[in-house]
Amino acid sequence: MDELVTCLHAICDAQPFRTSWYLRDLTTGREADRDGDVPVPSASVRKTSIMMAALRAVHEGRLRLDEPCTIEARLQKDVMSGTYRYMTPGCVIPLRDAIVNMIITSDNVCTQIVLERLDADGLNAWCRALGMAHTHHGPRIPPLTLAYDHPIEQNAYTAPRDQGLLLDLVLRGAQGDAAAADRLGCSADLCRLGLDILTWQQHRTMIPALLPYATKVANKTGRGRRGRMDAGIVFRDERPLYILAAFTDFVPETMPDGLPGYAAAFATIARLSRACWEAIGT
């Protein structure tokens, strides 16, 4: 793994922006990281924890997956992510579908629907209880006025290791590890649902981008004011191979070669994932 870690650091060092990551080799259990415990803007990567908190509430009987949820005009205001901002107000969907769209299209109308059914302080306390020591959920959706150099406390934040921990718990819970499911407050079936939803992800420009076509990846992406990020579980032949949580920060609008900074962020995370794919389990 040492050779892989050296390669991952070299990929990051080649860029003018900050890149942090956490890696878990699921074939050996070995871990590595680059600033894995340093808080960074979470953007929509945080929605994995929102999903699992909602599924916990379902398990406890506080929410129902078939609960009808109305798309309201007030929820569409200032939303810059997803498709439901374009839908006719009054459309009704079940809570399950709101959770699904919050993850697979990062829909922020649906995110608000889910968050309105959760207690914000309780959500943060639950994350801390899981061991996500550097994760905090702030506003329901990012403020449109968020400055490029904003303090991370002004919006939601997390750390790469926190997201890796959460994904590992979801995976183990889905595999029937009762202790992992209990720690999440979910049943094995609900852990499997959460994992399935992550595999339905429609945004595949980072962790999956340089992997063989149709590689199974359970991931949640993020688009921040100054970075792009992705955290997911990669499978090979249905076998969990590795967990990678990668975050870029202070990405310039334009790179020295004149190309958009976000494209370099996409490529950097994709290359990190490809390096893991080539080195792990082979």
Report residue 282's pLDDT band, with 50, 70 and 90 as the boundaries: confident
Q: What percent of the chain has pLDDT over 70?
A: 100
For residue 116, the model assigns a pLDDT of 98
pLDDT tens for each residue of 3-12:
999 999 999 9
- Tally of structural domains, the chain: 1
Q: Which residues pair with 178 in a beta bridge?
A: none
**Angstrom distance (rounded) from CA 202 to CA 248:** 20
Pick from 214, 191, 192: which is nearest to 204 by CA?
A: 214
Domain of residue 58, CATH code: 3.40.710.10
Instruction: With 0.95 as the threshold, say if the pTM is over it.
Output: yes
**Angstrom distance (rounded) from CA 255 to CA 250:** 12
**Residue 202, domain extent:** 2-279
pLDDT tens for each residue of 42-73:
999 999 999 999 999 999 999 999 999 999 99
pLDDT tens for each residue of 110-153:
999 999 999 999 999 999 999 999 999 998 898 888 999 999 99
Phi and psi dihedrals of 96, rounded to 5? -55, -45
CB 50 within 8 A of CB 113: no
For residue 105, the model assigns a pLDDT of 98
Q: How far is CA 190 from CA 14, 45, 57, 105, 148, in A?
A: 41, 19, 11, 20, 37
Residue 164: is its pLDDT beyond 90? yes
Mean pLDDT of the chain: 98
pLDDT tens for each residue of 245-275:
999 999 999 999 999 999 999 999 999 999 9
For residue 144, the model assigns a pLDDT of 86
Pick from 99, 105, 173, 170: which is nearest to 132 by CA?
A: 170
For residue 191, the model assigns a pLDDT of 99
